[in-house]
Amino acid sequence: MTITAKKSRLIELIQQTEDDKAIAFALALFEAPKNVQVESWEDTPEIVREGIEKAIKQADTGELTPHKEVMAMFREKYKE
């Protein structure tokens, strides 16, 4: 997918959402200072890298519970 296609898809998704938190997150992401130094993968502690790699493998094999299901379980448990 080209960068132009990705931008178009992102614009489409933003226009379709009614999720205020998603919009706030996108705004924060794009309004973040550009001079903030980001830690490189090599500088990330090994325990953190292992956890991320494990989570990616779980996601790839379908071992994760979708967000909607987790939220439904919590709403039922805490009667929100």
Tens digits of residue pLDDT in 16-70? 989 888 888 888 888 877 776 767 888 888 899 999 999 999 989 989 888 899 9
DSSP conformational letter for 42 = G
Q: In this predicted structure, what is the pLDDT of residue 4?
A: 94
Full-model pTM: 0.41
Rounded to an integer, the average pLDDT of 76-80 is 82
Q: In this predicted structure, what is the pLDDT of residue 57?
A: 93
Stated length of the chain: 80
Cα of 77 vs its chain's centroid, Å: 25
**Do 19 and 27 touch, CB atoms closer than 8 A?**
no
- Tokens for 6? 């990705």
> For the chain, which residues make up each domain, given as ranges?
1-36, 38-80
Q: In this predicted structure, what is the pLDDT of residue 54?
A: 92
